[in-house]
Amino acid sequence: MSNTLLITRGKNWVEHTAMMQLKGLANLKGVVKAVGLPDLHAGKTPIGVAIVSEGIIYPHIIGNDIGCGMGLFNTGIERKRFKMDRWVTRLNHIRELADLETVNPYDEQSPIYDLGTIGSGNHFAEFQVLQEVFDPAEFEKLNISKDDLLLLIHSGSRGYGQSILREFSDPQGYLVGSMEAKCYLKKHRTALLWAERNRIVVANKLIDYLGYASQAATVIDCKHNFLEQKDHLFIHRKGAVSAEVGAVVIPGSRGSLTYIVRPTDKVEESAYSLSHGAGRKWARSLCKSRIRDKYDRDTIRETKLKSWIVCHDADLLFEEAPEAYKNIDMVIESLLEFGLIKIVAALKPVLTYKG
């Protein structure tokens, strides 16, 4: 009997390569269940998976960016204070976030050497506003209102996670109870802590840089690259979030809505996991040639939702274009069809910043 499950509905396209990669992980020693979430796509290891194992752990499934995730913050800034032209100009002045002074508000020294940076690739900082409330009772628990300017930070443990993976990169995995497994789990825990702290530090740095005295209040923080022990099992989540820690934020691309959802009590089926986003549709290397002719240097920066992106990396603008991602609605509908979520609210991007 197969130990593999793909959570998807008819219209949600999932590439064959990613499915093969998922089956590869399902066949690893000690793997008891392998779940592909609707945003499953191919990578060095597949992204959008929850892999449950017994007696052995596989750090390479988690990958280099241990603790990477989405932090949704209430900026304490009123939505009406947002002025597109002024904010774009101001953010354009940042060459790199590393150039701005970072204050480490924690007692310990950060193992992330460049704390306060978001990194590159698919990482971003995005100002958002409330678009629609679907479940008023659940929405009320979030402590946000239609007047609030929100900030979504996608980042992780930067070079620190990378250094941990280098130490524990054996694709054969490590036996639970071994010195190596214990050591990995300890460092992994530190990476999770500091990846979350990094999201908070970045959020506050941007709020401060834009001239506001308020502090970022965490609405939701959900990591999507991590290993969780559950009873005698280990759940490897790579591009997947836990469905057991309250509301979850599932963003689309910079040109689509972000959903706040509430997991249901049926999530055992998906290894207590949900999608982390829309998922890539196009490989990075294909993006530029496919859409270059459609845009000029300005129009590539605006979206259907009238949001804008500040980004000094010309290639990244194409690699991270909305077209490169799947339709978030297909992902959400797949999760709904399997009875795994209820939609709480939708947010709309207004301004994205990328490294």
Partner DNA sequence: ATGTGC
Q: Which residues are catalytic?
A: 276
Nearest residue (CB) to DNA, 165 versus 346? 165
Binding mask 162-201 for DNA (x = CB under 7 A): xx--------------------------------------
Interacting span for DNA (CB under 7 A) from 2-10, 114-122, 142-150, 211-219: 114-122
DSSP string, 137-180: HHHHTT---TTEEEEEEEE--HHHHHHHHHHT--TT-EETTSHH
Calpha distance 127→78 (Å, rounded): 12
For residues 316, 278, 114 and 229, what is the CA-based torsion angle, rounded to 10 degrees?
A: -150
What are the tokens at 165? 């993976």
Which of 113, 302, 306, 339: binder of DNA (CB under 7 A)? 113
Nearest residue (CB) to DNA, 169 versus 218? 169
Site for DNA in 26-65 (CB under 7 A): 64-65
Nearest residue (CB) to DNA, 64 versus 327? 64
Q: Is 122 in the site for DNA (CB under 7 A)?
A: yes
Cα 344 to the chain's mean position, in Å? Answer: 18
Which of 15, 114, 180, 333: binder of DNA (CB under 7 A)? 114
Asked whether the beta carbons of 57 and 181 are under 8 A apart, the reply is: yes
Cα 149 to the chain's mean position, in Å? Answer: 20
Which of 60, 158, 187, 301: binder of DNA (CB under 7 A)? 158
Point out the annotated binding site for Mn(2+). 123, 154, 224
For residues 58, 61, 65 and 67, what is the CA-based torsion angle, rounded to 10 degrees?
A: -70
Fill in the amino acid letter for 223. Answer: K
Nearest residue (CB) to DNA, 225 versus 307? 225
Angle, helices 158-167 vs 179-209, to 10°: value is 170
Point out the annotated binding site. 122-126, 154, 224-225, 276-279, 354
Which of 38, 46, 71, 119: binder of DNA (CB under 7 A)? 119
Name the residues that contact DNA, by CB under 7 A: 64-65, 113-114, 119-123, 155-156, 158-159, 162-163, 355
